[in-house]
Structure 1
Amino acid sequence: MTGTARTVAEAARHSTPHTPARPTTERPSARFDPQVLRARWLQVASEDPATVARARAEGVDFTLAAGRVWETDEHVYLPLVATHLRGDSVERDLLTFALSPDHVATAQPTRHYPIFDKAIARMRRTPRLTLSSYGIMYALVYALNEAAERVIHHASDLLEEMSDEIEEATLGYDRRGREIGVTDMQGTIARMNRAEEIVSSTQESQLSLARAARHLRSEIADTDPVLAGLVETLVADIDGVKEHASFEHDKVRYLQQAIMTSLDVKQNQIVKVFTIITAVFLPPTLITSFYGMNFTHMPELEWTLGFPWIVLVTLVAAVIPLAYIKRRGWLR
């Protein structure tokens, strides 16, 4: 200890000679204790009969929830939908929380659920969260919300990767100047539909997270103002991710509509071309059908200029509808 620090310590000791030392009741909050966390948080693997039986022995029966919010004398059962990334794929899991003032239990797909690693890291940084089941519940919902936000960013990145293809589809031509048809856009449309599914799943996840956060807020009430403030911030964050998901969903719908409109325009142009061709060649076809009939007397066959005259009439019959179509602007 330096001289200055020793002086300050001695001055503090002599200035309060009769003040007893304060009990170290807050010491557990100064460091992260895994034993405390395990005592308050019970992780139940849904497919593991042993952990399910252990939970029932402690009064936690997840079958009571049956996919809905359910309250008993001791627990509040909250079903959640977790949407998260595993590599480049998006997965969706069904979880159930059982919350009581003494502990929180989670029914999850596996004993080690990777999403909750971030919750544990949060509790390591803020050890006081492990002192109550409500603090642990806050950290778990926080981790689920962060996982959902990463999914939304992943969907946004997918749309950005398709931006060039979407622009080409809107313009109707690729980089080589070739017209784009429905077959050319099947892959883009399939990936866009996948992005819409991802965003829709995230929206459902955020609804369940918001419901769980509101229940947590009501359970805390005024017992812990600091934790209540954290939960209020968490509710706002969940709503923010939900709004982001709604924005991305609207964006997907707009891009889908733009692509389908562009393809519809291309289809209409194709139909218009065939219609113009039919209109131009219908009169000449009608004339040639007359001379395909087996009549006994056809005076034009004996004319010296019969063939050139018929050819001229046929050309005129083709040019007249073409000129009319051009005048009406149907060739544009």
Structure 2
Amino acid sequence: MEENTVIAAPEEARELPQHGWIRVRASDTEMLASIYRQYGVRLDLPVRHPVEEQGFILLPLELPLLDTADGGTGTSFSAARILLVLTGGVLITVEPDMPIAALSAAQERLARDSAEVTSAAAIQKILEGLNDAMQETVARISLVLNTLADEAVDSSGGFRMEGRQVGVADIAQTAVSLGGAEELIARTVQGQLMLERAARWSRRVNGASRAEYSTILSDMQGGRRHARFQHAKVRNIQQSLMTTLDLKQNQIIKVFTVVTAVFTPPTLIAAYYGQNFANMPELALPWGEWFVMGTTAIFALVPLWYIKKKGWLR
């Protein structure tokens, strides 16, 4: 088998090349063992931060990528853990079992642009593809946040389109969805920071100039700023929901206050005439019942009129 090619399956060769890009699944223990025998680097151990081993630089990536199970049209995301293993001549990517569309697209571009695949060219295409995938993640998050913002507006208005009044449970459900979006954005920002770190390490390993990586680093930084803008949007929606929730709670308390103010005077009158006094002259009057009923109505309507005049019912 020729060198400077991308190896997609371990069955193609036992002798691994010294140049090019080698793709391997994290669950392929046989291929990982072959890499350890030939290169002396173990890739089956968890890597949390960049390390150097046997002349290789191990760069872990954990990226929330759009789930391609539904054709990439939904809003579900999966955490893709990718390990980039760099040296001067060979690039190894340890990938999860789930397909990573960005890596497959990078492999296709390399095959189309050049017959010879070098590790330097491969890592640039990989970083560009993964950065584009992260940009798509942020774009989908933005769509989700637009929907949640509309729900927050409905909550502030008090009614949904069905005419049903928005309750605390609806606001709580929107708040839970916002919490999930905030966690996803945080992991997106972390993933883009890891991509930037991988780009700087690969530039150092390959001896590339700063200009060669300036565009991709600028794109990564721009994507991170976009993600942080989405995070600020989440905070604004959350603040709006909390304000709406406070207003609803105040509205509930106000209703109980008005009801108490209206019914307290009639309750006092009813309590008075419920006493067992020996002499109550108005009981002998022929219009005594109407007098009590009228008095009760007046004492109930006067507080209601006063509250309405003050504008406390709005």
Do the two structures share a fold, i.e. TM-score over 0.5?
yes
Corresponding residue SS for 1:79: strand
Residue 213 of structure 1, CA deviation: 1.2
Q: In structure 2, list runs of 5 or more residues that go unmatched.
A: 8-16
- Matches of 1:232 and 1:164 in 2, distance apart? 38
Task: Please tell me the residue identity of whatever aligns with 2:36.
Answer: R
Residues 41, 53 of structure 2: 8 Å contact kept:
no
Residue 144 of structure 1, CA deviation: 1.2
Q: Deviations over 1:224-253 (max 9, x none)?
A: 44xx53322111111111111111121122
TM, length-normalised to structure 1: 0.78
- Matches of 2:180 and 2:266 in 1, distance apart? 51
The partner residue of 1:158 within 131, 144, 167 is 144
Q: Is residue 122 from structure 1 mapped to residue 109 from structure 2 by the alignment?
A: yes
Task: Please tell me the residue identity of whatever aligns with 1:233.
Answer: T
User: Which residue pairs with 1:135 in the alignment?
Assistant: 121
CA-based RMSD: 2.7
Residues 42, 55 of structure 1: 8 Å contact kept:
no
User: Which residue pairs with 1:95 in the alignment?
Assistant: 82
Task: Please tell me the residue identity of whatever aligns with 2:281.
Answer: P
User: Which residue pairs with 1:276 in the alignment?
Assistant: 258
Larger Rg: 1
Corresponding residue SS for 2:312: coil
* Identity percentage of aligned residues: 34
Corresponding residue SS for 1:62: coil
The partner residue of 2:211 within 211, 215, 229 is 229
User: Which residue pairs with 1:320 in the alignment?
Assistant: 302
Residues 196, 249 of structure 1: 8 Å contact kept:
yes
Task: Please tell me the residue identity of whatever aligns with 2:92.
Answer: A
Corresponding residue SS for 2:256: helix
Q: Is residue 297 from structure 1 mapped to residue 284 from structure 2 by the alignment?
A: no
User: Which residue pairs with 1:25 in the alignment?
Assistant: none
- Matches of 2:103 and 2:231 in 1, distance apart? 27
Task: Please tell me the residue identity of whatever aligns with 1:198.
Answer: L
Q: Is residue 55 from structure 1 mapped to residue 35 from structure 2 by the alignment?
A: yes
Q: Is residue 216 from structure 1 mapped to residue 226 from structure 2 by the alignment?
A: no
User: Which residue pairs with 1:105 in the alignment?
Assistant: 92
| Cα distance change on mapping 1:112 and 1:173 into 2, 3 Å | closer
User: Which residue pairs with 1:85 in the alignment?
Assistant: 66
Residues 97, 104 of structure 1: 8 Å contact kept:
yes
Residues 65, 77 of structure 1: 8 Å contact kept:
no
Q: Deviations over 1:151-195 (max 9, x none)?
A: 111112223345544432232233355432234456544544443
- Matches of 1:184 and 1:64 in 2, distance apart? 45
TM, length-normalised to structure 2: 0.82
Residue 36 of structure 1, CA deviation: 3.0
User: Which residue pairs with 2:25 in the alignment?
Assistant: 45
User: Which residue pairs with 1:36 in the alignment?
Assistant: 5
- Matches of 2:97 and 2:291 in 1, distance apart? 89
Residues 134, 188 of structure 2: 8 Å contact kept:
yes
- Matches of 1:179 and 1:185 in 2, distance apart? 11
User: Which residue pairs with 2:13 in the alignment?
Assistant: none
Q: In structure 1, list runs of 5 or more residues that go unmatched.
A: 1-32
| Cα distance change on mapping 1:311 and 1:121 into 2, 3 Å | same
- Matches of 2:159 and 2:98 in 1, distance apart? 52
Residues 32, 44 of structure 2: 8 Å contact kept:
no
User: Which residue pairs with 2:11 in the alignment?
Assistant: none
